[in-house]
Amino acid sequence: MSGAASPILPIPLVQAAQVFTILLAAPGISGVIARVEARLQGRRGPRVMQPYFDLAKLFAKESLAPEGASGFFLVAPLLALACYLTVPLLIPVLTAFPLPLGYMADILGGGFILSLAGFAVAVAAAESGGPYAQLGSSRAKTFAAITEPVVLFVVLSVALVTATDLPYAMAATVRSDITQVIRPAHLLAAGALFMVILAETGRIPVETHTGTNEFGMIEEARGFEHSGPYFAALRWGSAMKQLILYTILINVFLAPWGLAATPALAAVGLAVVALLVKASLVGAGVTLIDNSFAKLRLFKITDFVAAAFLLAVLAVLTLYLGGG
């Protein structure tokens, strides 16, 4: 005797589920990464749920702003958070089929939205007057000028391989044939994106993601002058950015399997579990790399990003030479 069919969710609810999955799961993925990192270093480490407790404590604290800072200083964390909540509408987080808002922008447009979030946070840090915040802001924008062209070229190379720049169509192309993943051009482009993710999430080559006062800090330094709920928004947004980049890597480039083929409740629920498992595995791999290599000197970041750019160039060359 067959069981009852799973209820079908309304499409707007599925679309909202994509956003809330990124919103609610991002701190948990950061907690898993912190736990794995501690184990690799021989420490007990924090609880997996610790990022949620930290956010709750920050939301309960008082908010302060530096004297002389404009209103944008307080608006920037909320603007960044809004940008991070927009990107999940454009990429396949839970579903294999495109949702109504999935065609608002291509993957390049999603990259611009992520860049807007980083720009807003950098501007707020620059006008705070704090030396460490201004240092992080300056470095973030300097290195963004290097890494963002690499991201654009990676998107171009994958668009050439899959003949589209729409995230859902890219994922469908990869999902249609498993051999698509091991095509040389595709692997080279995915490798370039992975190197960019390492740099963008503060894992390598120069930054410490733990927020200690080191000369190499970039991402963490920009929020030094924020406090209370606004600092919580920055921390939460940083975790969301990390999960979004992981989602693009696994659900668009490398492993777009486990996505819901229908809006059935059971299928969407399994897709949530699949995303969390895949993101945790990627996070564990990133942590292993982060703890296996010494941090590079600040001026070496150009070499690291140049290597990623070279991989993207090789992907395009390989495509036209018959290896794609």
Give me the percent of the chain exceeding a pLDDT of 70: 90
Cβ atoms of 308 and 150 closer than 8 Å? yes
- Please give the Cα distance from 251 to 246 (Å, whole number): 8
- Please give the Cα distance from 323 to 6 (Å, whole number): 43
Can you give the pLDDT at residue 290?
80
Residue 133 pLDDT more than 90? no
Q: Could you say which DSSP state residue 115 is in?
A: H
Residue 194 pLDDT more than 90? no
209-241: pLDDT as tens digits: 554 545 556 667 777 788 889 989 989 998 999
157-173: pLDDT as tens digits: 777 766 777 888 878 87
CB atoms within 10 A of CB 294: 7
Q: Which residue has the tokens 């070496």?
A: 300
Give residue 203's pLDDT band: very low, low, confident or very high (50, 70, 90): confident
Can you give the pLDDT at residue 177?
74
Cβ atoms of 236 and 157 closer than 8 Å? no
252-311: pLDDT as tens digits: 888 888 899 899 999 999 999 999 999 999 999 988 888 777 766 677 777 888 888 888
